[in-house]
Chains A and B, each alone.
Chain A
C-alpha cells in the first residue's frame, strides 16, 4: 500500500514535470538553440568543412528547422552519434531532432517510441569493391570479407540477402564510416557495404575514386528521414512541415534567390502566398510558428533542390528516386492549404 502510494507520488511528480516540459518548441525557444543529432562524419550528409563548421544535406535540415522555429538557421548545437548511439541519444533528450540518414522501419517507428516525420532521401543498400577485384555483381562475392557498420539496418539486409542467395561471407563489423574506410583501404575487407549514398560519399573521399566501383545490386529499401521523439505531436508536425515546405518550394520554383521577392508580392499561385505568409495559412498558430517561417527556411537554407545539388551533386549522386513526382521521382508533397 505504502509503495503504491509512493509510486503514485513519483508518477504524479513525473507527470507534473512532464506537463512543464511538454512542449519541445518551448524548450528550444527558451534555450534559443536547436539541438540536432547528426552523423559523426559522412561527406555530403554531415561533415565539417575546412573552417570546422558542420555542413551537408542532413545538417541543412537541422538548419531549416532552426530557421523555422527560431528565425535563424545558425542557432543549432550539433551532437554527433554513431549508428549505435543515435536512438539512445534521441530518447535521452540530447537533441530535438535526429537528422542522421536513418532508415524508417516498422520496429524503429513503433517499438522504439519515436516518430519518423517523412522521407528526405530514398536510398538503398549497395556494395563497393575495388575494380582490381574483377567482381561485376554482388552474386560473385562468395567467400568475401565484408565491412559493415554495426547498429544499422545494413547488417540485417546483408545477412538476409546473402542467406537468400546462398552466399557465404565473413562480416567485419565497424563502428563508424571513417574506421570502415581505413579497413577497406588497408584491404582488411574486399567489400564495403552501406547505403548507396554513403558509398558514393566514401568513394569521393578516396585518393583515386575511379579505382573503385559500386556494384549494380541494390539489396534493400532505405527510406531515410529525420526522427523525433514520440509524444509531442506539435513538434512532429513542425519538423515534418519544414521538410514539406522545402520540397513544396522546389515544386513552386521558390529558391533562396527569389523567395524575398515572391514573399513581397501577391502571386497568382495562392499556394505560394500561403506558404510565404502573404495569405493566412489556417492552423499555423497551433504550430506556434510565425507567418514568415517558410521564408526563413528558404532564404537561409534553400529549397530541397538547392540543398540536394549543393551537397550531393559533388558526390556524383543523381536525383533518381529523389526527384519530385512530376520529374519521375518519389517525392509527392501534400498541398499547403
Chain B
C-alpha cells in the first residue's frame, strides 16, 4: 500500500499516471466513435468504400480551372471544386489584405473624417454575419446589373451584366518570346541593381530611388520589346452571341460576390489587427524616427511597420484561415467550390456521406495547415531575431 501511495505522492510519477489515464480515456473515446460508426453503418446495411471516387460524376460544373467534363470522375470534380475554393480564397486574401492594411492605417490617421469612416466601416462590416454579406453582394449583382442583352459596356470591350463581368482576353501570337525574354532580363537586372544599391547605401549612405528605377525597367523594357516585335498580342473581345457573351475572360457573379464579401468582411478584422500592431509600437520609436528627419511615409515603412509586422502576423494567419474556411459558404449562392462539388452533388449522387465528408474535412484541414505553415515560416523570418 505504501508503495502505491508513494508513487502517488511523488510529483513526477503522479504526472505520468494522470497522463496515462487521460490517454487511455481519449483512446477509448476515439475507438468508441469508430466502432459506433461501424455498428451504425452495419445496422443501415452500408459499407465504407471510396470506389465512387473513380466513377463518372455525370454532372457539369460551370467554372473549371482544369479541363472538366461530365464524363470525368467524382475525384476530378472534387479537384475542380478544390481549385475553385483556392481561386476565391486567393482573390479574397489579396483584397482583404490590401483593404485591411489601408483601413488600419487610415483609422489611425489624424484626419478626423478619414478615421471616422474607417471606424464605421470596421464596426458595420464585422458585426454583420458573413453569410449576409455574401447574399447581399450576390443580390446586388444579380438584381441591379442588367441582362446580358442590355449589358453595361465599357468601351465596347468590357461588359458588366448580371451573368458576370467580361473582359478581353489577351492571346499571345508568335514573336511574344522576345517580350518574355526582356521581362526576365529586366527582373534579373532589378534584383542585382537592388542588391548593388543596398551595398552602396551601407557603405556610403547614398540612396537611390531603387523602386522607381526598377519599376520603370520592368515596365518599359518589355513594352519596348512588345513594339519591336510588332505587337504580338491580340485581344479576344467578348461578344454577345445567343443567350450570353462568348469569348474573353469571364468572372461569374457568384465568384465576384464571394470575393467581395469575403474580402470586405475579413478586411475589417485585418484593419483592427493592423491598428493593434501599430499601436503596440512604443510612441518613442515614432518620435525618434521623426526627430532624425524621416518623412511620415518613411517613418511608417521603415520604422513602424517592420516592427508592427511581428505583432500582426500571427493573428493575420488566423484571418487568412477564416477566410479560406468561410469560402465554404459559397454553397449558399451556388458557387461550385469543394463543398458544392464533392461535399454536395457527389455526396448526393453517390449517397456516400461519411466518405465525402471525411475527404472534404481532411482537405480543409490540410489546406489550413499549409497556410499556417507558410505564415509561420514568414513569421519566423520577421520575428525578433536574438543577436
Q: Residues of A at under 8 Å CB distance from B?
A: 6-7, 10-11, 13-14, 18, 83-84, 87-88, 91, 107-108, 111-113, 133, 141-145, 150-152, 155-156, 158-160, 162-163, 169-175, 183, 186-188, 190, 229-231
Contact = CB atoms under 8 A, between A and B. Distances in A.
B142 A145 contact: no
Interface stretch (B12-20, B59-67, B202-210): B59-67
B242 A150 contact: no
B345 A151 contact: yes
A235 to B, nearest CB: 15
A7 to B, nearest CB: 6
Contacts of B147: 187
B199 interface: no
Contact of A87 (B45, B246, B348): B348
A151 B341 CA distance: 10
B43 A18 contact: yes
A160 B344 contact: no
Nearest to A173: B334
Interface in B34-92: 35-36, 38-40, 42-46, 58-62, 70-71
A15 to B, nearest CB: 8
Interface in B288-329: none
Contacts of A88: 353
Contact of B345 (A91, A150, A160, A172): A150
Given A112-B351, A186-B142, 16 more contacts: A7-B38, A13-B39, A84-B348, A108-B351, A143-B241, A143-B242, A145-B244, A150-B334, A150-B340, A163-B70, A171-B61, A173-B345, A175-B332, A188-B162, A230-B44, A230-B45
Contact of B46 (A6, A113, A160): A113
Nearest to A169: B60
A173 B348 contact: no
A152 B39 CA distance: 29
Contacts of A6: 35
20 contacts: A10-B35, A10-B38, A14-B42, A87-B348, A112-B351, A150-B340, A150-B344, A150-B345, A151-B349, A155-B58, A155-B60, A171-B60, A172-B334, A173-B340, A175-B332, A175-B334, A187-B142, A187-B147, A190-B243, A229-B44
Interface in B338-387: 340, 344-345, 347-351, 353
Interface residues of B, number: 41
Given A112-B351, A145-B243, A150-B344, A11 B39 contact: yes
B275 interface: no
B59 A14 contact: no
B76 to A, nearest CB: 14
B336 interface: yes
A169 B46 CA distance: 36
A301 B9 CA distance: 75
A233 to B, nearest CB: 13
B345 A155 contact: yes
Contacts of B242: 142-144
A105 to B, nearest CB: 10
Contacts of B348: 83-84, 87, 150-152
Contacts of B246: 143
Contacts of A151: 344-345, 348-349
A198 to B, nearest CB: 17
B347 A84 contact: yes
B350 to A, nearest CB: 7
Given A84-B347, A113-B44, A142-B242, A159 B162 contact: no
Contact of B42 (A11, A83, A143, A170): A11
B172 to A, nearest CB: 25
Residue among B45, B60, B241 with the highest chain A CB neighbour number at 10 A: B60
A155 B45 contact: no
A190 B45 CA distance: 42
B331 interface: yes
A144 B349 CA distance: 24
B187 to A, nearest CB: 38
Contacts of B349: 151, 156
Contacts of B347: 84
Contact of A14 (B43, B71, B336): B43
Which of B42, B331, B349 gathers most chain A CB within 10 Å? B349
Contact of A174 (B40, B46, B58, B334): B334
A231 B351 contact: no
Given A155-B60, A171-B62, A14 B244 contact: no
Contacts of A174: 334
Contacts of B133: none
B163 interface: yes
A188 B253 contact: yes
A144 B58 contact: no
Contact of B244 (A11, A144, A160): A144
A22 to B, nearest CB: 11
B143 interface: yes
